Structure 1
Amino acid sequence: MDEVITKDGRTLAVEQWGVPTGTPVIYLHGSPMSRLARHPDDSLFERLGIRLITYDRPGFGCSTPLPGRQVVDAAEDVAAVADHLGLDRFAVFGVSGGGPHALAFAARHPGRVTRVGALASLAPRDAAGLDWTAGMNEGNTRSATVAVTDREAVLAHLSAVGTAGLPPLPEVERAVLSRPEIGAMLGPAFAEAVRPGLDGWVDDVRALFGTPWGFDPAEVSVPVRLWHGGLDTLVPPAHAEWLAARMPTADLTLQQDAGHGGHFDATPAMLAWLVGFPGLDTEELLAGRSVTVHVAGRDLHVQLGAPTAVDALPRLRALLADFASVRERATEYLWDWDANGGEGERERADFLAALTPTTLVVTGDGTVELHYEEIDEKYLMDGYWPAVHLDRGLVPVEVTIES
């Protein structure tokens, strides 16, 4: 566990999972949960090359309470965690009560967010035109009723829940919760959440069920992906539909046969999207196969080479995001290496235009190869093509000729 001290002197408890050098993703847990909550298959983060970062919201686990907090307050807490870890831009996502908190960061810090995901997320309590508790189960409806009163009432309500237990859940939820791997994760995550008491849970209920979020979801300008189960009675699907209609950049997947717990099965696809380049099939790459993506105006074949291909995924995503500069460095080097005698700017420009890479190979140690094929025979003998090798700093170091 790591500890982050906020500007107002509070402590936020942080955990990390997956690949330490991987693509960073900050996860906002549900309620009542803690930094130990995550997808139960930790190998998923390794397969996708993800550095998953979780933290306790105020009052949960080892994080200092912040009485009266709003959802929007999570934005500065996430920023504090990111600053502590030296993160610039990254993806965020949240599940259930964590969804609104992920959207809060995206709304307040759009320049730091690549993509944002929300699974089974609540809509704001003051959502215009939404019958907020319609289709909601008895337990959450009661929470919504007391959440609009005062803190003491919420505390009494949650204390009673802890004594009497939750109302029975639908079969679609029980089927998910009965999976051993999910129970093995949820048990410790819940126990850690309420270990210091109910402060975090009380503040979450008031922030999510009783008060405005403190920002308009329409302010979110980065790409958003929403997922919701059509059979969800903990958070009815109308909440996701309202969010999708409110956010211009949102795309909603409504899985009709899934309940609230269906977010566990939906998480792998969400994570792949959060850290992916459009069209980049990471599962195929990790299986050792070439994947074709459209970048810089044409198709590019992408491969991961040895060693440890999973370590190369974050590097690959960064290269594709800035592929124009990578291509420029490589082709400039090839021009200097052998321009076939040409010296004029016109010939140089023609040369660079003709040299369009067809294959990109990235290895686990960070080196890069750009392969060129079907090159105009004006520059190279027909049937032969070059490959430019670049080091970790994207400095070209070698050219090889292939037939």
Structure 2
Amino acid sequence: MLPKPVSRHLLSLSKTTPGIPHTVNVTLWGRPINDAQHVVFYFGGLPASAEEPALHSVTSPHNDVYQAHNIALLYIDKPGFGETSFNYWFRLRRDWPVIVDQVATQLGVADTRRYGVMGVSNGGPYVMATLTHPILKHRVKAAANIVGVSDVVASGYFSWKSPSTAFEGIYNSLPTFITGPFTALGMALGKIYLVYLGGYQAVLGDQFPLEGRPVLAKVMQDSMKHLGIPASIDCQQGLSPLYARSSSNHDPTSVDQNATEAYQDIKVPVTLWYGTKDSSVPMASAEWLAETMPNATLHKVDSGHGLYLFHTDQLLDEFVRILDQADASDDDADSKKGD
């Protein structure tokens, strides 16, 4: 049996910046917040859905990998995905950290503890936006970026010398009312192949039970809403060179401060997990991240872009160790204040 979520929350948000959606859907996996050792926000890639964590336990010896690691995993549907309302003016670096902050406050997380963040693939820019935003940079205790895109220009991900990344950058720089329907069509065809034509186990392997097909179908469906325009905005924000950070912005209080300076200022430990067989995110981009952030550790795994689905326990074991260390440091700091 695949694990089930602990609870679901449809939260109303204050529109403190223009791109904040009216409501967001937050799904809790693993353990209840008050019973967990660690609270972790998980940012999905594309396609993306709050149902995805049901598949994370498939290759684990545990029935529920997050429950076993004493984690309360909070998944926020991106604007326009799943049950979260659509806002065309959503801008990743400006708005996403504010969304996370409001969710943490409403669920009682921000008042009691710091939390971890992790993201996969196109969730990588969401991790980096959270770590560099003035509101959250002191509220996050550790992060994991898994096969994640970072800044497409500064990291070298986008290159005119690479036909695939050049095409990707150009496509995601087009108006979203053009790319949205094509993106939705591509995911619809992918859904047909994966769910109905046998591609599910062909892509993921025989260890993934057939009961996971409805989960994958829901993941695809949640990503195709509103003619695919939210999905295109999601890609645009993370993969278009037009939306990358300005190299000339040296303002440390700006959400658009240039990537090198912003990433060098990240003080919390960040684990980077990238596959040596990944054809989507070049290892050179991961190595740039590791060299730029002062407390980053790069793990190179013999895997492809689906790394997290096949190495979940290995990754979470290491992430929990780092989260535990962060808690110990917080306890030491509190003790010294008491003295």
TM-score range normalised by the length of the shorter chain = 0.7 to 0.9
Q: Report the counterpart of residue 11 of structure 2 in structure 1.
A: 4
Q: Report the counterpart of residue 346 of structure 1 in structure 2.
A: none
1:228 pairs, out of 266, 274, 278, with 274
Q: Report the counterpart of residue 39 of structure 2 in structure 1.
A: 24
1:142 shift after superposition: 4.2
- Is it true that 1:103 corresponds to 2:125 in the alignment? no
Q: Report the counterpart of residue 49 of structure 2 in structure 1.
A: 34
65-74 or 88-97, which moves further after superposition?
A: 65-74
- Is it true that 1:55 corresponds to 2:71 in the alignment? no
SS at match of 1:180: coil
Q: Report the counterpart of residue 204 of structure 1 in structure 2.
A: 234
1:179 shift after superposition: 4.0
Alpha-carbon distance between aligned partners in 1 of 2:279 and 2:156, rounded to the nearest angstrom: 19
Q: CA RMSD in A?
A: 3.4
Structure 1 unaligned residues grouped into runs of 5+: 281-294, 296-316, 330-403
1:85 shift after superposition: 0.8
Amino acid in structure 1 at the alignment position of 2:146: L
Alignment of 1:84-103 (within 5 A): 84-88=106-110, 89-103=114-128
1:125 pairs, out of 127, 136, 152, with 152
SS at match of 2:144: strand
8 Å Cα contact 2:26/2:77 also seen in 1 = yes
Q: Report the counterpart of residue 44 of structure 1 in structure 2.
A: 65
**Structure 1 residues 28 and 126, CA gap change in structure 2 (3 angstroms):** same
Which one scores higher on RCO, CA 8 angstroms, separation ≥ 6? 2
**Structure 2 length as normaliser, TM-score?**
0.73
2:311 pairs, out of 233, 257, 266, with 266
Amino acid in structure 1 at the alignment position of 2:298: L
**Structure 1 residues 155 and 64, CA gap change in structure 2 (3 angstroms):** same
Amino acid in structure 1 at the alignment position of 2:244: P
Alpha-carbon distance between aligned partners in 1 of 2:91 and 2:107, rounded to the nearest angstrom: 24
1:80 shift after superposition: 1.3
38-47 or 92-101, which moves further after superposition?
A: 38-47
**Structure 1 residues 274 and 247, CA gap change in structure 2 (3 angstroms):** same
8 Å Cα contact 2:269/2:322 also seen in 1 = no
Alignment of 1:130-149 (within 5 A): 130-132=157-159, 142-149=167-174
Deviations 1:337-391 (A, max 9, x none): xxxxxxxxxxxxxxxxxxxxxxxxxxxxxxxxxxxxxxxxxxxxxxxxxxxxxxx
Deviations 1:126-150 (A, max 9, x none): 22655547778x6x76443211222
**Structure 1 residues 5 and 19, CA gap change in structure 2 (3 angstroms):** same
**Structure 1 length as normaliser, TM-score?**
0.62
1:28 shift after superposition: 0.5
1:120 shift after superposition: 0.4
Larger Rg: 1
- Is it true that 1:193 corresponds to 2:212 in the alignment? no
Identical residues among aligned pairs (%): 24
Q: Report the counterpart of residue 14 of structure 1 in structure 2.
A: 26
Q: Report the counterpart of residue 359 of structure 1 in structure 2.
A: none
Higher helix share: 2
Amino acid in structure 1 at the alignment position of 2:229: D
Higher strand share: 1
Amino acid in structure 2 at the alignment position of 1:123: S
Alpha-carbon distance between aligned partners in 2 of 1:90 and 1:234, rounded to the nearest angstrom: 29
Alpha-carbon distance between aligned partners in 2 of 1:142 and 1:179, rounded to the nearest angstrom: 34
SS at match of 2:174: coil
8 Å Cα contact 2:52/2:219 also seen in 1 = yes
Alpha-carbon distance between aligned partners in 1 of 2:70 and 2:84, rounded to the nearest angstrom: 28
8 Å Cα contact 1:107/1:221 also seen in 2 = no
Alpha-carbon distance between aligned partners in 2 of 1:74 and 1:178, rounded to the nearest angstrom: 36
1:272 shift after superposition: 2.9
Alpha-carbon distance between aligned partners in 1 of 2:202 and 2:96, rounded to the nearest angstrom: 30
Structure 2 unaligned residues grouped into runs of 5+: 1-7, 16-20, 58-62, 246-255
